[in-house]
Amino acid sequence: MIVGERYRLEQPLSTGGMGVVFRARDTATGEPVAVKQVLDPRHATQFEIEARLLSALEHPRVVRVLDHVEADEGGYLVMALIDGPDLGRLLGDRGRPGLPVDEAIEYARQVCEALAYVHRQNIVHLDVKPQNMILGEDGIVLVDFGIAAEFERPSPSTSRVSHGAATGTPHFMAPEVFAGEAASPRSDVYGLAASLWTLLAGRPPVYGRATALPEQVKDVRPGLEEALVAGLALLPGRRLASVEAFARALGAPLVAAGAPLTHSLLNPLLPRDLLEAVVRTAAAVFEASAASIALVDPTTGELVYQAAWGAGAREIVGVRLAPGAGIAGSVVTSGDGVAVPACRQDARFAADVAAGTGYVPNTMAVVPLCRDGEVLGVLSMLDRRGGGPYTAQDLPRAMLFAELAVISLGHAPAGAPDAVRGR
């Protein structure tokens, strides 16, 4: 079978958190790839949004997403094929019943590096388990993100369950996710702690009963059991708050690596760190796949995109819009925020600019950045991560966020432009 007129499916590799993963061949390059088939076509928009965002990730311990394909039967995510066994298979081959303590902790440390990176990018993995940790030539690579989850009730008869926007595997899924509540980075902490427990004990922990490792686990380090128990707390508020905290509890320092999803102009007159923090935080608060700040060039009247986070961030930074052009330009002209549920059908939408960046959004919310009645620029949020549209109900919060952003920019360094510093 050929997917997207390019990828030839060869054989199934595994059943993951959301569908079947196939070994495939890229007929354009001849290279082997992994293709994940999304089984439910009802969430095509959510799949497209998440696939774009995952494609922007760059970290040696996170699988590289190369492409995505939409078809009538659902979506396909094309990923780099990692040559090596997953830790579930390694445990089955070498576990006595578990792996040596130092080896298991080192694998967990490497997964912490992957998760620390994706969490900084406002992404939660949602299906952390040994089968999604591949031992490649350079160590562990985390694969199979649980995106575009199906909507079904958890059932004891299923080997994988999904609920709401979250998905996962029993024994490794955090209790709050299993119960249908919101997922967070602490949910991944639970999956990681459950995975390390499994690698040590040879079997996964039982919810609420993981208080001490089995006696057959030898050479237990001081503090190891305490770290596992804290990572497996049933209530997320009592669980270790981050994978960095889990790594520290294990005595396993992390190595910083990976490319952030935030980009900005190399302009020494603008507060780059602050601009990047604003767009990154806006994306998190409004569950956006992308966010950006564009400021009016006082000389030409053009909107210049100064900083962006997420999918398409690298491409949009530096783009100039003519005065009044696009949805963003209309916001500068009117001074009023807009929420566009289907921006591709909006007459104001700058389709040529979007096509030039390679990112054509589905929905967006754009609000002005104002000071003393003057519009300095706009803050834009694109594509809600859950797949739903932005509506007028989002605008009051977005306007308050924009007001806070302008106040923050008012504390820019002395060399910043007067328009930014509020003079």
Clarify whether residues 267 and 373 are in a common domain.
yes
Does the pLDDT value for residue 173 go beyond 50?
yes
Q: Looking at 8-17, 25-34, 275-284, 344-353, which range is the least confident one?
A: 8-17
Does the pLDDT value for residue 361 go beyond 60?
yes
CA–CA dist 110, 252 (Å, integer): 9
Model pLDDT, residue 41: 61
Find the domain containing 32 and state its range: 2-80
Q: What is the CATH number of the domain that holds 323?
A: 3.30.450.40
Q: Is 385 exposed, middle or buried (0-12, 13-18, 19+ CB in 10 A)?
A: buried
Clarify whether residues 284 and 342 are in a common domain.
yes
Q: Looking at 124-138, 345-359, 378-392, which range is the least confident one?
A: 345-359
Does the pLDDT value for residue 191 go beyond 50?
yes
If you search the block for the tokens 């490792």, which residue do you land on?
213
User: What mean pLDDT, rounded, does the chain reach?
Assistant: 88
- Mean of pLDDT values over 205-229: 91
Is residue 364 included in any domain, yes or no?
Answer: yes
Model pLDDT, residue 334: 96
If you search the block for the tokens 């089968």, which residue do you land on?
131
- Mean of pLDDT values over 176-197: 94
Is residue 255 included in any domain, yes or no?
Answer: no
Model pLDDT, residue 140: 97
Of 211, 226, 250, which closes a domain?
Answer: 250
Q: What is the largest CA-CA distance in the chain?
A: 73
Choose between 420 and 315: higher pLDDT: 315
Choose between 37 and 39: higher pLDDT: 37
Model pLDDT, residue 152: 32
Of 57, 80, 103, which closes a domain?
Answer: 80
Model pLDDT, residue 47: 82
Clarify whether residues 34 and 156 are in a common domain.
no
Is residue 313 included in any domain, yes or no?
Answer: yes
Q: Residue 304 has what DSSP assignment? A: E
Does the pLDDT value for residue 161 go beyond 70?
no
Q: State the CB neighbour count (10 A cutoff) for residue 120.
A: 17
Clarify whether residues 406 and 365 are in a common domain.
yes
E strand or H helix at 313, and its extent?
Answer: helix 313-316
Choose between 344 and 8: higher pLDDT: 8
Q: Looking at 278-282, 310-314, 352-356, 379-383, which range is the least confident one?
A: 352-356
Is residue 257 included in any domain, yes or no?
Answer: no
Clarify whether residues 370 and 409 are in a common domain.
yes
The candidate with the shortest Cα–Cα distance to 42, out of 12, 66, 62, 72, is: 72
